[in-house]
């Protein structure tokens, strides 16, 4: 399909427009967005925020030996006292039993939570400790919250929760409640008689039908009204509400700093105006939650996990990015390295401008920018040595693909297995075309695994578009040549990629991240079928009567 200089011209044009689109998008990310400014009265602060102390490096509630120090809790609550009058906790172990005492010193109130799970003996011990703390610090503890989303997790049934709540009310000197997603309150309304007030979680982002930021507050108001009407006479606490600042988009619900700031501002203004009792989730970003909920789980906080500084102001415009220095630097470095590799491969030839040099330089610029963006995402998302190693290998393959392209002379790419045998034979003398073919096979295999994982467990997985965008932009152009070839294994991987990407996109067609993954997948995988189709047409033409020899 391509003959020189067509592949180079196509590459140059694709990467020119791609680079322009990416830079335009990044520029928009730095533009301050005007939104409602939160106007709190003199001395007025956020009503309450969820506090978990597991935000420092390596801290997680799954570490049975971890005990948060009194000093850390002092530092955390000291930072929170600047923005809120109250903190909600979820347990009374691992150092969290220190919170009421510290809150008393700092003038904060506490919604004291006790963790309830499937271990009955542990539940009894935790509840006993929580009641003792609530009674000892009754001047600080606003209420005792017995269990958090226990029914949602199906760890206990409604009858068992009623018994625990009855025990808590019998021994507690403060009001007692239970917290769960609003639907589970409506499904288990018999619990209403066992609590002093209803605590519901309303999280527009996590709804089964995700709610766009523009309709989020309407959804919260309607939900609260529905629950209030169902439990007439009972006070309602919105025990969790908020918006994530980073991570995977769900349907029309996009996590971002701008959207998080908008939601918090608009919700708090409405809540204070209408007298809603509420608790925002959450106080400080919790990186450990990425293991359970994906990237998005770690970035619901009002404060940054490292600096304990507010992530956004409560008044004035908010921009998604402060600057684009890192992506621009990546673009310049990528273009420079790619051009140097291309020129080094000319071996003394006259250095005149050509489509090849333009294509290689633009490809390097785009790839460097994408690499910088992916690096930013990796810092937010990657959680373990395994993840850094496996996904780092794919990122390295993308860089090597760009480097091999810089040395490529336009030859046809053999099937990956054939090219691999030649690379093993020739080693350091292997051609750039064979290197490109081997890398293509590896990337197709890795993308097939990623596509399968997204299909079977996509709720919490980020779309890995940035990781595969550079190979897709290269192979999506040079992979359509009739004189090349794909192995059977490559075609199988390509089939998996296309099927899974389509199946992942169909449930949420309005999600730009899902659409971006679909387009990346198609660019990467479709050339395998284009070549097969071209080969069949060529074979059919050769076997036609008019093409046979006499």
Residue by residue, DSSP assigns 295-320 as: GGGG---SB-TTT--BSS-SSS-B-S
Residues 23 and 45 in one domain: no
Domain-embedded: residue 305: no
Percent of the chain's residues with pLDDT above 70: 93
CATH number at residue 264: 3.20.20.80
Which residue has better confidence, 535 or 281? 281
Q: 505 to each of 101, 189, 255, 466, how far by Cα in Å?
A: 50, 37, 18, 17
Residue 187, CA atoms < 13 Å, CB-side half-sphere: 11
Residues 46 and 23 in one domain: no
Angle at 228 between CA 226 and CA 232, to 5 degrees: 125
Structure tokens at 522: 């198609």
Domain-embedded: residue 59: yes
Q: What is the pLDDT of residue 171?
A: 97
Q: What is the pLDDT of residue 31?
A: 97
| Boundary (domain end) residue, out of 298, 332, 354 | 298
Q: What is the pLDDT of residues 289-329, one digit of tens each?
A: 999 899 999 999 999 999 999 999 999 999 999 999 999 99
Q: 297 to each of 245, 249, 292, 459, how far by Cα in Å?
A: 9, 12, 7, 11
CB atoms < 10 A from the CB of 67, how many?
A: 12
| Boundary (domain end) residue, out of 244, 265, 298 | 298
Q: What is the pLDDT of residues 66-94, one digit of tens each?
A: 999 999 999 999 999 999 999 999 999 99
CA separation for the pair 535, 60 (Å, rounded): 55
CB atoms < 10 A from the CB of 157, how many?
A: 11
Q: What is the pLDDT of residues 452-508, one digit of tens each?
A: 999 999 999 999 999 999 999 999 999 887 677 899 999 999 999 999 999 999 999
| Boundary (domain end) residue, out of 266, 298, 330 | 298
Q: What is the pLDDT of residues 1-22, one digit of tens each?
A: 444 457 888 999 999 999 999 9
Q: Compute φ and ψ for 345, nearest 5 degrees.
A: -85, 0
Residues 64 and 102 in one domain: yes
Q: What is the pLDDT of residue 427?
A: 79
Say if residue 271's pLDDT is above 90. Answer: yes
Say if residue 347's pLDDT is above 60. Answer: no
Domain-embedded: residue 149: yes
Residues 196 and 328 in one domain: no
Q: What is the pLDDT of residue 409?
A: 87
Q: What is the pLDDT of residue 1?
A: 44
Domain-embedded: residue 306: no
Question: What mean pLDDT do residues 107-114 have?
Answer: 98
Q: What is the pLDDT of residue 513?
A: 97
Quote the mean pLDDT of the chain. Answer: 92
Question: What mean pLDDT do residues 395-400 have?
Answer: 96
Region of poorest pLDDT, from 36-45, 78-87, 94-103, 139-148? 36-45
Q: What is the pLDDT of residue 537?
A: 53
Residues 271 and 369 in one domain: no
Structure tokens at 194: 């066992």
Residues 432 and 528 in one domain: yes
Q: 540 to each of 167, 484, 547, 548, how far by Cα in Å?
A: 81, 18, 10, 11
Rg (CA), the chain: 29
Q: What is the pTM (predicted TM-score) of this model?
A: 0.92
Q: Which structural domain range is residue 76 located in?
A: 39-298
Domain-embedded: residue 307: no
Q: What is the pLDDT of residue 410?
A: 86
Q: Compute φ and ψ for 49, nearest 5 degrees.
A: -135, 145
Q: What is the pLDDT of residue 3?
A: 45
CA separation for the pair 337, 31 (Å, rounded): 30
Residues 388 and 335 in one domain: yes
Sign of the C-alpha dihedral, residues 17, 18, 22, 28?
positive
Say if residue 538's pLDDT is above 60. Answer: no
Say if residue 534's pLDDT is above 70. Answer: no
CA torsion angle 168 231 267 287 (round to 10): 40
What is the total count of domains within the chain?
Answer: 2
Provide the pLDDT confidence category of residue 355 given band limits of 50, 70 and 90: confident
Domain-embedded: residue 544: no
Domain-embedded: residue 315: no
Q: 164 to each of 122, 138, 419, how far by Cα in Å?
A: 12, 20, 66
Sign of the C-alpha dihedral, residues 500, 502, 503, 509?
positive
Residues 182 and 92 in one domain: yes
CB atoms < 10 A from the CB of 416, how many?
A: 25
Say if residue 353's pLDDT is above 80. Answer: no
Residues 191 and 269 in one domain: yes
Residues 272 and 397 in one domain: no
Quickly count helices (H) and strands (E) in the chain: 18, 8
Residues 229 and 104 in one domain: yes
Domain-embedded: residue 355: yes
Residues 43 and 23 in one domain: no
């Amino acid at each position: 399909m391509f003959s020189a200089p067509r592949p180079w011209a196509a590459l140059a044009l694709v990467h020119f427009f791609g680079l322009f689109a990416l830079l335009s998008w990044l520029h928009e990310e730095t533009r301050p967005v005007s939104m409602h400014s939160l106007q709190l009265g003199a001395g007025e602060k956020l009503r309450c925020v969820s506090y978990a102390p597991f935000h420092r490096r390596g801290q997680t509630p799954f570490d049975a030996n971890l005990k948060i120090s009194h000093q850390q809790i002092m530092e955390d609550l000291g930072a929170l006292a600047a923005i809120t009058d109250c903190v909600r906790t979820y347990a009374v172990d691992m150092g969290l039993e220190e919170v009421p005492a510290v809150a008393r010193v700092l003038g904060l109130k506490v919604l004291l939570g006790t963790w309830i799970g499937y271990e009955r003996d542990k539940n009894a011990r935790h509840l006993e400790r929580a009641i003792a703390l609530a009674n000892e610090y009754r001047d600080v503890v606003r209420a005792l919250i017995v269990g958090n989303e226990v029914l949602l997790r199906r760890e206990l049934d409604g009858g068992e929760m009623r018994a625990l709540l009855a025990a808590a009310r019998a021994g507690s000197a403060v009001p007692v409640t239970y917290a769960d997603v609003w639907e589970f309150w409506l499904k288990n309304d018999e619990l209403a008689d066992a609590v002093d007030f209803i605590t519901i979680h309303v999280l527009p982002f996590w709804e089964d039908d995700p709610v766009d930021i523009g309709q989020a507050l309407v959804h919260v108001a309607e939900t609260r009204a529905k629950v209030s009407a169902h439990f007439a006479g009972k006070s309602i606490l919105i025990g969790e509400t908020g918006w994530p600042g980073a991570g995977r988009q769900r349907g029309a619900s996009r996590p971002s700093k701008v959207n998080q700031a908008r939601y918090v501002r608009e919700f708090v203004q409405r809540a204070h105006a209408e007298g809603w009792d509420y608790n925002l989730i959450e106080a400080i970003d919790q990186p450990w939650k990425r293991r359970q909920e994906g990237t998005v789980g770690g970035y619901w906080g009002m404060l940054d996990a490292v600096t304990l500084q507010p992530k956004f102001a409560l008044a004035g415009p908010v921009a998604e990015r402060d600057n684009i220095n890192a992506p621009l630097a990546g673009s310049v470095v990528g273009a420079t390295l790619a051009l140097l590799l291309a020129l080094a491969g000319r071996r003394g030839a006259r250095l005149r401008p050509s489509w090849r040099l333009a294509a290689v330089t633009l490809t390097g610029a785009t790839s460097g920018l994408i690499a910088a963006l992916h690096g930013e995402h990796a810092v937010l998302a990657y959680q373990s040595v395994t993840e850094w190693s496996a996904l780092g290998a794919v990122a390295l393959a993308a860089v090597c693909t760009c480097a091999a392209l810089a040395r490529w002379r336009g030859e046809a790419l053999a099937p990956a297995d054939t090219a691999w045998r030649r690379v093993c034979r020739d080693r350091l003398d292997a051609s750039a075309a064979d290197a490109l073919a081997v890398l293509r096979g590896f990337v197709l295999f890795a993308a097939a695994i990623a596509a399968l994982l997204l299909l079977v467990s996509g709720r919490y997985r980020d779309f890995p578009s940035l990781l595969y965008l550079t190979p897709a932009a290269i192979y999506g152009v040079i992979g359509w040549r009739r004189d090349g070839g794909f192995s059977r294994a490559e075609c199988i991987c390509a089939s998996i990629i296309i099927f899974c990407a389509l199946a992942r996109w169909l449930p949420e067609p309005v999600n730009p991240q899902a659409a971006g993954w679909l387009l990346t997948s198609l660019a990467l995988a479709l050339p395998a079928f284009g070549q097969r189709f071209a080969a069949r047409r060529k074979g059919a033409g050769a076997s036609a009567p008019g093409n046979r020899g006499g």
